[in-house]
Structure 1
Amino acid sequence: MANGDHDSPRRAGGLFLDECSRWQLMMRETHGMGWTRVSTEVVHQGLFLSLFRDFVIRPDGSRGTYEHVAVDDTVRVVALDGQGHVVLVEDDFCLQARRVLHLPGGGTSGQEPCTAARRELAEETGRTASEIRALSIIDPLPGVTTARTHLYLATGLREGPPSREATEAAMQVITMPLSAAVAAVEDGRITEAGSVVGLLLAHRYQKG
């Protein structure tokens, strides 16, 4: 998925965003852990995200505001071939203004995470998997959004043609031993949060 987690919605108009917004509002009736939401307002509603301002009562009883972003959940896929090599993608990221090496993945676009993981793997790399299993779920930016990243391990790979979006025109597939990808995490070449956690978990799974 090109440009971080901003893949194009697979549905017409703003349907994806409307559904995401309704879900976020439902989840934010109270913040929990002493936070209470009194009311909320939409500051900005765009094609890929919404910005909300909540009027809240803080844990100490004082009143204030809390701004946060509503976006779709995302997926990252650790795809391993029969030789223990992992399939990565490298692409131009607009905000980082550099090429970023990361695991295949993107927004769920309203799909179940496992279905979205299979779709993103096929679209970005052309690979399909005979088996896919959940590794974990992470909260990459819990102070900014409730969106979560679902991590999967895919095996039994078959190659085919990718089906990328226009924003992914510069994307390249890179395969390397899983141990080499872990080394890239350790030396700072791979920095995207879901990719870092997914690779480390897959490495532990492979070893044990």
Structure 2
Amino acid sequence: MGWTRTATEVLHEGPFLSLRRDSVLRPDGSRGTYDHVTVEDGVRVVALDGKERVLLVEDDFYLQQRRVLHLPGGGAGGQDPRDAAARELREETGYVPGELRSLGVIDPLPSTTAARTHLFLATGLRSGPAHRDDTEIGMTVQWWEFTDAVEAVRAGRITEAGSVTALLLAASVTSS
């Protein structure tokens, strides 16, 4: 690969992430450091019903200082990504997928973290209770026409990386 880690220093350890500084040998042989964030992998779910509607959630995001419209999802929490996707969908929306199909995996911030986001298409939805955690208290669930959600990506209304990618991938899969 070209990069060699020779040491790691933990600069900060928190409940959801750690900040690390690696001593490295670069591909050209020179020595240096590389700071990066360690977080768990994430998941995003395009949940479609039989009427070509998609479930979206909207929530307050501290760093953006605004409400963000996005697909259900979150951290994998050490689970298999498929299991984590089903869990996140159920927790945030109350829906359980009958079928869960992988749309792929993305590296949303490859120079900042090795964490990946696993993308899924859920169909055959069954309703049940939502079980949100304390960080999701103000979250709302919305049904959107799938084509309107894809248009919201193009218009810049849906901007979260996993949601953008998953919606566009689902559009290419469902239109073929």
TM-score, structure 2 as length reference: 0.98
**Match for residue 87 of structure 2 among 116, 119, 124:** 119
Instruction: Map 1:150-165 onto structure 2 (within 5 A).
Output: 150-165=118-133
Structure 2: segments with no counterpart, 5+ residues: none
88-97 or 159-168, larger mean C-alpha shift: 159-168
Aligned counterparts, 1:135-174, within 5 A: 135-174=103-142
Give the letter for the 1:56 counterpart. V
CA distance in 1, matches of 2:97, 2:27: 46
Aligned to 2:75: 107
Please give the secondary structure, in 2, of the residue aligned with 1:203. Answer: helix
Aligned to 2:41: 73
DSSP-derived class of the 2:102 partner: strand
Equivalences, count: 176
1:49 aligns to 2:20 (yes or no): no
State the secondary structure of the residue aligned to 1:95: coil
Match of 2:145 among 161, 167, 177: 177
Q: Distance in 1 between matches of 2:92 and 2:134?
A: 12
Of 55, 59, 63, the match for 1:91 = 59
Alignment of 1:195-206 (within 5 A): 195-206=163-174
Give 1:48 deviation, angstroms: 0.5
Partner of 2:28: 60
- For residues 100-156 of structure 1, the C-alpha deviation after alignment (integer angstroms, 9 at most, x for no partner) is 000000001111000000000000000011100101000000001110000000000
Aligned-residue offset at 1:36: 1.2
Q: Secondary structure at the match of 2:98?
A: strand
Gaps of 5+ in 1: 1-31
Task: Note the C-alpha offset of 1:68.
Answer: 0.5
What RMSD in Å do the two structures reach over aligned CA positions?
Answer: 0.7
**How many angstroms does 1:58 deviate by?**
1.3
Q: Which aligned segments of 4 or more residues in structure 1 are displaced greater than 2 angstroms?
A: none
Q: Percent same amino acid at aligned positions?
A: 64
Most deviating of 188-197 and 154-163: 154-163
